[in-house]
Structure 1
Amino acid sequence: MIHLPRGTQDILPGDSEKWQYVEDVFTTICHQFNYKEIRTPIFEHTELFQRGVGDTTDIVQKEMYTFNDRSDRSLTLRPEGTASVVRSYVQNKLYGVNTQPQKLFYNGPMFRYERPQQGRMRQFVQFGIEALGSADPSIDAEVIGLAMHLYQSLGLKSLRLVINSLGDQESREAHRQALVNHFKPHEEELCSDCQQRLEKNPLRVLDCKKDKDHPAMQDAPKILSYLTDEASEYFNQLKKYLDAMGIDYVVDSNLVRGLDYYNHTAFEIMSDADGFGSISTLSGGGRYNGLVEELGGPNTPGIGFALSVERLLMALEVEGVELPVNEGLDCYVISMNDEANLKAVELVHELRKHNIQVDKDYLGKKMKAQFKTADREKATLVLIIGDEELQQNVVQVKNMTDGIQETVDHKDLVSYIKDRI
C-alpha cells in the first residue's frame, strides 16, 4: 500500500465541507471589501522567491521545495503567495490600469519543508490579500480589518491583534546599525544562522527561534525608539483608524518582519484560546514598499496578509465553533422495482436541474435498506416510487422530520419540494 507523503493530508468528506464553507466566507468578505481574485502558478522560477522572500530567511535557506526541470531551469513550489502576486502585478502591468490601488486576494496550496505538527503541514493552504498602489495608512487599517472580520464572522472570539511599526528606510537604517552594535559583542554566542544574519539582515536575529532566550535578545534596541517623525506619524494615523473602526490591538515592539523591503506596518493575529498550543499565531502581514521595484516594477507601495486555513480550522475546533455546513440531502428517491428505478433515474436528473440536492440507490437494495441509506444521508424528504405511483403518475413524499407522507403529482413535485426545504 502506498501512503501519502509526510506533512500532507487527505481532506475527506465530512471535513471537506468545512473547508468549502470557510473558503466561501473568505471569498464573500473579499468581495464586500472590493478585492478581486488572482490565481498564480503553484511553481515559479526559484529566483522569484530568492528575491521576493529573501536569501536570509529560513524559507529560502531551509524550507523550499526546489527542483530542476528537463531544461535544467530551477523551479520552486511556492512557499508563500505574496511574491507570486507581485510578480504577476509587474508582468501584467496592473500598475497601469485605471483602478488603483489593485486590491487582490488568493487562495491555494503552499509548500514548505519543515517539521510537520498540528496545524502546520508541508503542504498547506493559505488565504491572502494584497493591496498594491496606495501608501495611505487607512488601507493598512482596511487590510487588518478584513482579517479580523473574517475570523469574527466565523465565530472566533479569543483573538489578539498585535501591531508594530518597522519605520521608513531612514528608521530601518538607524535601527539596523543599533542592532549590529548591540549584538556584535555577543556574535560568537549566537547560532550560525544568526551570525550570518547579523551581517546581511540583523532584524532577522530578533526572530530567531534558537536564540530567543539569549540575554542579549531581552534588551535589544527597539525599532519604535528609532522612528523618524514621518514614520511615527504614519503609525499614529494607523492607530487612529483602528480606534475609529473599533478594533482592539496591542503594540508589541518585538514584532518584526525580517525582509529588507518591509516597512511601517507589521501585524499578527493570535489565538488566546485555551488548548490552542504554544504557537499562537493565526495570521500575519505587513507593508512591503520596495518589493515591486525589487521584482522589476515601478515604485509601488503594497500591504497584505496571509492566513493558514489549517490553523483557522484548528482554532475553530479549540473554541468549539460548529460551522453551519449542510451535511444532508434535500431528497432521496426510493424505487420498488426495475421499472420504478427507470423513473427514479429520470426524476433525479430532472430535480437536479432545478437545483435540488437529490440522490438514489445504485446497489439494488431492498426498500428497507434504501430507507436506512436515506436516513444515513440525512435526507429531508424521501420520494417513493412503486407500481401504483407509476400508474397514477405520482410520487409518495415522506417528510423524515415529522413523518408526514403525502401523494404528490409529478407536475407539482418541484414546487412541493422547494416549499419544504
Structure 2
Amino acid sequence: MTDELLARAVALDEADPLAPFRERFLPAPIVSYLDGNSLGRPLKATAELMDDFVRDQWGGRLIRGWTDGWLEWPLTLGDRLGELALGAAAGQIVVADSTTVLLYKLARAAVDARPGRRKVVLDTDNFPTDRYVLEGIAAERGLTLTWITADPDTGIHPEQVADAVDEDTALVLFSHVAYRSGWLADVPEINRIAHEAGALTLWDLCHSAGSVPVRLDDWGVDLAVGCSYKYLNGGPGAPAFAYLRHELQDSLRQPIQGWMGHRAAFEMGHGHEPAPGIRALLSGTPPILAMVPMHANLDMLAEAGIEAVRTKSLLLTGFVLDLADEWLAPLDVEVASPRDPARRGGHVTLRRPGFEQLLEPLWESGVIPDYRRPDGLRIGPAPLSTSFAEVYQGLELLRDHAGKHR
C-alpha cells in the first residue's frame, strides 16, 4: 500500500495545474512544511518588492510616498482582496490593524447599533481572541454572552444558533473555518437565522481567506475580519482586514476614532467626523511597509484563481486523510476533522494523547506541522506552495515518530 500511496502522490503532482507556483516561493531547508494554515511561506517576489520599496519608494520618495498612493493602499488592497477571494464588491473591505483590533472595532460598533438588545451569541471553541474580545465588550457594555457548546471535532451548526438567538440578540460571532478542526460552517443559513431574529453577524475568516472561496455579499454577511499571514502569505504580523457591508456603513460607528478615519484627516480639526464609507474603519497610520507583501500575493492569487486553490486544497487534505487512515490509525491516531469535503476547510487535525512530545523530533527531522492543545496536530498544506510528495514525506516521518513514541 505504501508504494501505491507514493505512486498516487507522484501522479497527483504530475497532474497538478498549480504545481509551477511552488517555484515562486523562497526555498527552505526543510522536508515538509505543513503549517501553511498558521504562517504562509514567503514568495521570491515578496523579497524583491520589499527591497524595492525600502530602497526606491521609501528611500527615494520619502514623505512624498504618501501622496504617491500609500494612503489609498488600505482601500485598494481591500477591494482587490474582496474581488479575488472574498466575494465582496468594492468599497467594503479595508486592510488595517490586527485581527484582534478589527474584531473589537466591528463588534463594538455592532452591539451599539442594536440598542436595547443585551445578548451576544458565540461558541466555546472559537479562537481565543474572538472569545476574549467579546468578553471585554460584554463587560464594557453590560451585555450577556450566550455560549454555544461546540464540538471541537466539528463546529457550529445552524440548529444550535436557532436555539440560542432571540429578539434580545444583538450580535452573533463565529468562525467560517474552525481553527481547531477545520469545520466549515454553513454561513448563509446561520446568517438567515440570525437576521430573522434581528441580530447582526460577524464572521472570522482567518482560516478561510486565500484557501476557501468566500461569498460575503451573496451570503448576506454583515461584518467580517481575517488575517493575511496564513494562506495569503503576508508574513509574521501582517495586517488584517475588515469587511463592513455597504448598507451598514452609515449606521455603524467604530469606537477607535483616529485621524485616518476622519472625513478630512489633514485638516487636523476639532472633533471627530467619520469619513464616508469603509475608510471610517481606519484609526491610525496604515502599516504600509507590512502591506507590501500583499501586492505579490494577490498577483499570484489572481493568476491561480481561488476556485483552483480550493480544488487542490481538497485533494491535499483528502490525501492527508488517506495517509492517516493507512499509517496512523493503527497507531491510535484519530482524525478530528470533517471527512465530508463540503464541510472541511483547508487543514486536518490529527489527535492522540502525548502528540506535543512529537513536535521537537518532527522539527529536527525537517517536518513542521502545527500543534493545538490538548493533543491535536494540525496538518495545513498550502495549495500554492505544497506538493503531494511533500505531504507524503511529512506524514511518513510523522508515522515513524508516532510509532517510536507510543
Into which bin does the TM-score normalised by the smaller protein fall?
under 0.3
Q: Tell which has more relative contact order, 1 or 2 (C-alpha 8 A, sep 6+).
A: 2
Q: Which structure is higher in helix share?
A: 2
Q: Normalised by the size of structure 1, how large is the TM-score?
A: 0.21
Which one has the largest radius of gyration? Answer: 1
Q: Normalised by the size of structure 2, how large is the TM-score?
A: 0.22
